[in-house]
Amino acid sequence: MNNKKGMKKIFEDMKKFSPLLINLTSRDFKVKYRRSVLGVLWSVLNPLFTMLVITQVFGHLLKVSVPNFATYYIVGWSIWNFFSEATSLSMGSILGGASLIKKVYMPKYIFPLEKCLFALINLAFSLIAVIAVMLIQGVYPTWTALLAPLPILYCFVFSVGFGLILSAMTVYFRDIQHLYSVLLTVWMYLTPVIYPVSLIEDNAFMNTVVHLNPLFYYVDYFRNVMMYGVVPSLVDNLVCIGIAVISLVIGGFVFSKAQKKFILHI
């Protein structure tokens, strides 16, 4: 019964504070591109420039043997970068919203949720670069590309859950902001963004570690529907949904317990 009341209150709060959520997202968007000559175009150019560098280093110098490597990289990078940006921004969201939290009542989870929404908007713009690279390399999306919102949604829910945990922990342990950047670097190399999974198949330990990595499933799902015209199986969807739901439940639980004393630490 308490769970039903809790869920009902969350939905009521979301409806009540949705204008605030939109305003906060709009503010972040304006601040990011304030006084920028190219403005939102940077969200398209950034993945393109990153792709060019990575392609030169890994595709040409290190001879990573992946067909259409530029497309392979930028498709995987777009999902990875979304998760990285969403969770990194969420981490300091409560501290950044301290002035508002001290003045008026609002659900505190609004702040990490808003950062994830902001990262989602940036992902939408970066997909323009993804499509451009695919067309240039002659990798034409099939009808399965219509399924692309699914892995993005799964990854979004996963990121919200993880962001809730990080935002709560950062209020009490500020050093997490520095440690997380190191973790993200390690995490990226444990996600097959730059290299193919086949490269580590003979290494049982690395193969196991990579398959225990939640981001592997979202990146792989997104590549399948965008590049290879593969319809993910029911198992693939259940795995992605399961990871996302577990992350959200744990994140919600940790955040709800920790938020009671936020006011004493912000």
Q: Where are the beta strands (DSSP E) in 96-215?
A: none
Distance between CA 153 and CA 19 in Å, rounded? 22
Q: How many structural domains is the chain composed of?
A: 1
Which segments in the chain show pLDDT lower than 70? 1-14, 34-40, 42, 57-64
Q: Token pair of 68, please?
A: 């259409």
Amino acid type, 216 = F
Q: Please give the pLDDT value at position 123.
A: 93
Q: Please give the pLDDT value at position 254.
A: 94
pLDDT in tens, 189-223: 999 998 888 888 888 888 899 999 999 999 999 99
Q: Which domain holds residue 152?
A: 2-264
Q: Please give the pLDDT value at position 1.
A: 43
Please state whether the predicted TM-score (pTM) of the whole model is above 0.85. Answer: yes
Q: Please give the pLDDT value at position 159.
A: 97
Give residues with Cβ within 8 angstroms of 178, minimum separation 6: none
Q: Please give the pLDDT value at position 64.
A: 64
Distance between CA 105 and CA 97 in Å, rounded? 12
Q: Token pair of 54, please?
A: 């990575």
Burial class of residue 130, CB neighbours in 10 A (0-12, 13-18, 19+): buried
Q: Token pair of 138, please?
A: 């002659």
Q: Is the dihedral of CA 69, 75, 81, 87 positive or negative?
A: negative
Q: What angle do CA 177, 159, 201 make, to 5 degrees?
A: 95
List C-alpha distances in Å: 106 to 14, 133, 252, 262: 10, 42, 16, 13
Q: Select from 69, 65, 72, 59 the least CA-distant residue to 198.
A: 65
Q: Select from 204, 54, 45 the least CA-distant residue to 128.
A: 45
